Amino acid sequence: MFRRLLVAAAWLAVSAVAAPPLSTVQDVLYKADGARFNGTLTISWKSFQPADSTAIVSQGSTVVTVTNGNLHVQLVPSTSAIPVATYNVVYTSNGRTQFREVWAVPATTQILKVHDVRISSAAAGSSTSGSSAADTGDTTTPLAESGVVGLLSDLGARPVKGPGFAAGSVAMVDSSGMLEAVTGNATDCVHVDGSSGTCGPASLGFVDADTLSGLVDGVNTSFGLSATPSPAASLELYRNGVLQKAVQDFTLSGSTVQFLVAAAPVPGDTLLASYRVAGTDTSNTTPAVTSPQVLCSGTGATTSSTTLAALGTCIIPSGILLPGDRVEVQFDLAHQNSTGGFSVQVNWGATTVVRRDATAAETLVSGRVDATILAAGAQTSSQTWGTVLSFGATAGNASDSYASGLTITLLGLVGQATDSVTLNNFTVVRIP
In this structure, which topology does domain 293-431 adopt according to CATH?
Answer: Jelly Rolls (2.60.120)
Q: What is the mean pLDDT of residues 418-430?
A: 94
Q: In angstroms, rounded to a whole number, what is the distance separating the alpha carbons of residues 338 and 22? A: 94
Q: How confident is the model at residue 113 (pLDDT cuts 50, 70, 90)?
A: very high
pLDDT score, position 166: 82
Write out pLDDT tens, residues 188-220. Answer: 788 877 787 777 555 567 888 888 888 888 999
**Confidence check: pLDDT of 275 > 60:** yes
**pLDDT average, residue stretch 341-363:** 95
Q: Averaging pLDDT over each range in 58-67, 91-100, 332-341, which range is the top one?
A: 332-341
Q: What is the pLDDT of residue 366?
A: 96
Asked if the 17-147 domain carries CATH number 2.60.40.10, the reply is yes
Give the pLDDT mean for 400-417.
Answer: 93
- Check residue 287 and give its pLDDT: 43
* Predicted local confidence at residue 148, as pLDDT: 76
Peptide bond into 201 cis (omega under 30): no
**Does residue 132 register a pLDDT over 80?**
no
Average pLDDT of every residue of the chain: 84
pLDDT at residue 3, rounded to an integer: 58
| Residue 175 burial by Cβ neighbours in a 10 Å radius (0-12, 13-18, 19+) | exposed
3-state secondary structure the chain: CHHHHHHHHHHHHHHHHHCCCCEEEEEECECCCCCECCEEEEEEECCEECCCCCCECCCEEEEEEEECCEEEEEECCCCCCECCCCEEEEEEECCEEEEEEEECCCCCCCCECHHHHEEEEEECCCCCCCCCCCCCCCCCCCCCHHHCCCHHHHHHCCCCECCCCCCCCCEEECCCCCEEECCCCCCCEECCCCCEECCCCCCEEEEEEEECECCCCCCCCEEECCCCCCCHHHCEEEECCEECCECCCEEEECCEEEECHHHCCCCCCCEEEEEEEECCCCCCCCCCCCCCEEEEEECCCEECCCCCEEEEEEEECCCCCCCCCEEEEEEEEEEECCCCCEEEEEEECCEEEEEEEECCCCCEEEEEEEEEECCCCEEEEEEEEECCCCCEEEEEEECCCCCCCEEEEEEEEECCCCCEEEEEEEEEEEEC
Distance CA 333, CA 163 (A): 62
Answer yes or no: are the C-beta atoms of 294 and 177 closer than 8 Å: no
Q: Report the pLDDT value the prediction gives residue 236, as an integer from 0 to 100.
A: 94
pLDDT at residue 98 is higher than 80 = yes
pTM over 0.75: no
Burial of 216: CB neighbours in 10 Å, binned 0-12, 13-18, 19+: middle
pLDDT in tens, 53-85: 677 766 789 999 999 999 999 999 988 887 788
**Domain boundaries for CATH 2.60.120 within the chain:** 293-431
Which pLDDT value is given to residue 84?
81
If one compares 140 and 343, the residue with the highest pLDDT of the two is 343
At 356 the pLDDT is 96
Looking at residue 143, its pLDDT comes to: 64
Local confidence band at 302 (pLDDT 50, 70, 90 cut-offs) = very high
- Quote the pLDDT of residue 18: 61
The mean-pLDDT minimum among 168-182, 195-209, 290-304, 388-402 falls in: 195-209
Mean pLDDT for the stretch of residues 160-166: 82
Res. 319 pLDDT band, cuts 50 70 90: confident
Higher pLDDT, 286 or 48: 48
Mean pLDDT of 394-398: 95
What digits encode the pLDDT tens for the residues 356-380?
999 999 999 999 999 999 999 999 9
CATH 2.60.40.10 residue window(s) in the chain = 17-147
Give the per-residue pLDDT at 297: 87
| pLDDT of 403 above 90 | no
Residue 1's pLDDT band, with cuts at 50, 70 and 90, is: low
> Is residue 240 predicted with pLDDT exceeding 50?
yes
Inform me whether the pLDDT recorded for 285 exceeds 50.
no
Report the distance separating Cα 69 and Cα 31, nearest Å.
9
Cβ neighbours around 237 below 10 Å, total: 24
Q: What mean pLDDT is predicted for residues 85-112?
A: 91
Q: What is the pLDDT of residue 167?
A: 82
Spatial neighbors of 230 by CB under 8 A, at least 6 apart, are 276, 277, 278
Higher pLDDT, 4 or 223: 223
32-49 pLDDT per residue, tens: 888 999 999 999 988 888
